Amino acid sequence: MSSDLTLFDPLLSHPLTELPAVPPERAMRLFRFFREHPLFRWQDANNDCEDRANALCILLDQWGIPNCKAWVFSGFFLNKNLGSLVNFWNYHVAAAVRVEGDTGPAFYVLDPATLQGPERVENWAAGVTHYPFSYHALRNGKDYIFPPGDIYRGRWFERDRQNYKWTLQGLSGINGVAPSGKARLVFQKARIRKTEQEFRYLLHHPPDLQD
């Protein structure tokens, strides 16, 4: 079914075939941990997906778990062709891991905002596609966002101090890039500090993921 709705875009993707795979049980434990942790606002699926994805990849890096990001774009947003995503999204992004399987490793997405458990990237992309086609890609976890106006340009914006701040603001429920979000920052500094404390605690206290 997924091939009827979404297409893999190799030009947008990084070559990640050497990314080490994790056992499926560990992927499920990661999914459940992130889904249940109060730091992540999965119910607000229409906002801050890049910040949740970035936060998960930062944590996975710190915990020594190989990871990447899965991206899906509406056909209209990507290249002005037919194709739309659910909820009028232009794109969606989530953290992903490579998982061992009986027929070989495959990439699974960790996105409790749209899934009930880890799911193969093509099925995840199809699940958020309203009308074909969408285009999905796999990129390094350190890519925060694509350049405006030319998604195929070689250099995306990588993780840095500024978008780390945006990530913490997004986890706090504030879009620090939008004008309304910038106004809220003045009154929500204590909330953001609390979010950063909780996030930094997670960095140094990984969950028990033993298989």
Q: Helix, strand, coil proportions of the chain in percent (round to 5)?
A: 35, 20, 40
Residue pointed to by tokens 């409790």: 112
**How many angstroms separate the CA atoms of 11 and 105, rounded?**
21
pLDDT of residue 94: 98
pLDDT by residue for the chain (211 residues), tens only, comes to 456 999 999 999 999 999 999 999 999 999 999 999 999 999 999 999 999 999 999 999 999 999 999 999 999 999 999 999 999 999 999 999 999 988 899 999 999 999 999 999 999 999 999 999 999 999 999 999 999 888 998 799 999 999 999 999 999 998 766 666 565 776 678 889 999 999 999 999 999 877 6
Overall pTM surpassing 0.85 (yes/no): yes
pLDDT of residue 58: 98
Residue pointed to by tokens 């992540």: 40
The Cα diameter of the chain in Å comes to 52
- Write the CB contacts of 8 (distance below 8 Å, at least 6 apart in sequence): 122, 135, 136, 137
Which class would CATH give 2-159? alpha beta
- Write the CB contacts of 33 (distance below 8 Å, at least 6 apart in sequence): 207, 209
The full set of domain ranges for the chain reads: 2-159
* CB crowding 110-139: b at 16 or more within 10 Å, else e: bbbbbbeebbbbbebbbbbbeebbbbbbbb
pLDDT of residue 112: 98
Of the candidates 106, 102, 109, which has an alpha carbon nearest to the alpha carbon of residue 60? Answer: 109
pLDDT of residue 63: 97
